[in-house]
Amino acid sequence: MKLIFEGHDYKYALEQTVVALFGEKAGAEDGDELVSCLSFGQRYATASARIKYKGREARAFARADIRGADENERTRLCTHALKIAAFKAAREVTGRSYPWGALTGVRPAKLFVRFLDGGMSPSETSRMMEDRYFVSPERVKLAEAAAIFGREVRNSRREGRLSVYIGIPFCPSRCSYCSFVSSEIGRASALVEPYIDALCRELEIKGNTLRELGIQVDTAYIGGGTPTSLSAKQLGRVMDSIARFLPVEGLEEYTVEAGRPDTITEEKLGVIREHGAGRISINPQSMMGKVLELCGRPHTPEDVIEAYEIARRVGFGCINMDTIAGLPGDSPDGFAHTIEEVLRLNPENITVHTLALKRGSDIKSGEASAGNIPAPENVERMLDFAFPALYNKGYNPYYLYRQKYMAASLENTGWAKPGSEGIYNVCIMEEFQTILSFGAGAVTKLVDGARIKRLSNSKYPREYIADREKIEKDNIKLREFLLQISGKI
């Protein structure tokens, strides 16, 4: 969509809004455009938006009282008015409801928490999100639940503790919608042992720093990729190193993302359980065979059930299952079937994602093409089915986030039975605790109040294996940061 600005230069804010309202590719037809204008009177700034989209045209206005506002406040008020005008015009030309209204940020619960911390009550905050951002009551309810649970987790964190993420960037094969940097383990087999060596070395180097400074680990999460694409022996090596090098004696939660059911065996789950992980993720994404096939996932719904039964037999008391609304070839009925099947299995956690098609994904042509992706209104219908079904079975939403290019600009939500929420998920989303990440592509977030500093490891396994120096350098930065926040320097 062509963007034209008159009287202002808030380009970034408007671009974000257009992506949220129309998606990455939509609106690319000739003649589609947004003309965004801002004009000033004595007291008000008036924003207008004129949108032409697929032969339809709409115009909308919004204004902001800028009397007495300083420069920063003025920018905030004007940006908000411009977004609201664009949102109202978009709603008219597309005829869509936009459950998140004009809210474009990726962490709605974080925004909710900010207002609560500012002294507003949950009901005042809810009303403000509906009135000011046009968020639907259902989404406000999600944001409120996630914000309240997130605050509880934040307030229960203790000084001198952090969480850790360990990444295994290998998968048995690539799913068509995936945008992660993950290598097919069959093709990258020569890299696996050197990768584990490098990972164990990083665990030792940074683990020594944590021990020296008396830092403890609250939660640990082994993710990917697909950690269970490693052999049982390789998984054992990684988990031995975690136990040996990291200060995990007081661990509150230990999760392994098994992920793809076609990698799960009793032997591997046995190793994971023996090493103390109590929480595991088994991800069907869909319980529709045809959808799995279109997504390039070579497993069946029956394989999911079998993997789940193995996990219970091995003794896992907390299982998460991921689903995705909006996959190629899926329909509201198909997704309802997926939710019903997963509910029938009765895991402690269910995560309902909405497909986000990023640049790294392979969905380009053939049956699993972007043209075979369900329409936004159908994705909304999928979630409209899932929410009450989950509430009725005793699950509550406890964390959520949005991504760019997400189907229908919706959200990913973690649901859990009370008392089985994944604490790591909340820490990573709400960004109130340092997350120390290990492995290729891992990003460490050093959190100091509202300030967050990021340290990124080399993206690809080959670079990560070769770059010992970077790990050493980042370890020095990590040490300085930990000394600083503990007031020791």
Q: Distance (Å, rounded) from C-alpha 443 to C-alpha 436?
A: 8
Helices (H), 316-356: 332-345
Smallest distance, Å, CB 281 to ligand SF4?
Answer: 10
**Choice between 183 and 433, CB closer to ligand SF4:** 183
Q: Which residue stretch of 22-30, 93-101, 170-178, 420-428 sits at the interface with ligand SF4 (rule: CB under 6 A)?
A: 170-178
For ligand SF4, the nearest residue by Cβ is 178
* Span 97-156, contacts to ligand SF4 by CB under 6 A: none
**Choice between 224 and 461, CB closer to ligand SF4:** 224
Sign of the alpha-carbon torsion through 232, 198, 224, 368: negative
By CB under 6 A, tell whether 312 contacts ligand SF4.
Answer: no
Amino acid at 94: T
DSSP 263: G
Smallest distance, Å, CB 426 to ligand SF4?
Answer: 21
Q: Distance (Å, rounded) from C-alpha 444 to C-alpha 478?
A: 9
**SS3 sequence of 89-142:** HHHHHHCCCCCCCCCCCCCHHHHHHHHHHCCCCHHHHHHHHHHHHCCCHHHHHH
By CB under 6 A, tell whether 61 contacts ligand SF4.
Answer: no
Task: Name residues whose C-beta falls within 8 Å of residue 313's C-beta, 6 or more positions apart in sequence.
Answer: 266
- Interface with ligand SF4 (CB under 6 A), residue from 227, 259, 328, 397: 259
* Span 418-437, contacts to ligand SF4 by CB under 6 A: none
- Interface with ligand SF4 (CB under 6 A), residue from 260, 268, 381, 402: 260
Q: Scanning the structure block, which residue is given the tokens 């229960």?
A: 156
Smallest distance, Å, CB 461 to ligand SF4?
Answer: 14
- Interface with ligand SF4 (CB under 6 A), residue from 62, 109, 147, 171: 171
Q: Scanning the structure block, which residue is given the tokens 């988990």?
A: 239
Q: Which residue stretch of 117-125, 128-136, 171-179, 335-343 sits at the interface with ligand SF4 (rule: CB under 6 A)?
A: 171-179
Amino acid at 86: A
Smallest distance, Å, CB 225 to ligand SF4?
Answer: 5
Q: Which residue stretch of 168-176, 189-197, 336-344, 450-458 sits at the interface with ligand SF4 (rule: CB under 6 A)?
A: 168-176
**Choice between 63 and 299, CB closer to ligand SF4:** 299
**Choice between 150 and 261, CB closer to ligand SF4:** 261
Contact present, 358 and 179 (Cβ < 8 Å): yes
Q: Hey, what are 16's tokens?
A: 């974000």
Q: Which residue stretch of 7-15, 159-167, 174-182, 449-457 sits at the interface with ligand SF4 (rule: CB under 6 A)?
A: 174-182
C-alpha radius of gyration, the chain, whole number? 23
Contact present, 188 and 460 (Cβ < 8 Å): no
- Choose among 41, 42, 23, 40: nearest CA to 32: 23
Q: Distance (Å, rounded) from C-alpha 362 to C-alpha 184?
A: 14
Q: Distance (Å, rounded) from C-alpha 94 to C-alpha 193?
A: 52
x/- map, 199-238, ligand SF4, by CB under 6 A? -------------------------xxx------------
**Choice between 173 and 372, CB closer to ligand SF4:** 173
DSSP 375: P
Smallest distance, Å, CB 259 to ligand SF4?
Answer: 5
By CB under 6 A, tell whether 180 contacts ligand SF4.
Answer: yes
DSSP assignment of 387-405 equals: HHHHHHTT-EEEEEE--TT
How many residues bind ligand SF4 (CB under 6 A)? The answer is 11
Q: Hey, what are 278's tokens?
A: 């109590």
Smallest distance, Å, CB 226 to ligand SF4?
Answer: 5
Where on the chain is the footprint of ligand SF4 (CB under 6 A)? 171, 174-175, 178, 180, 182, 224-226, 259-260
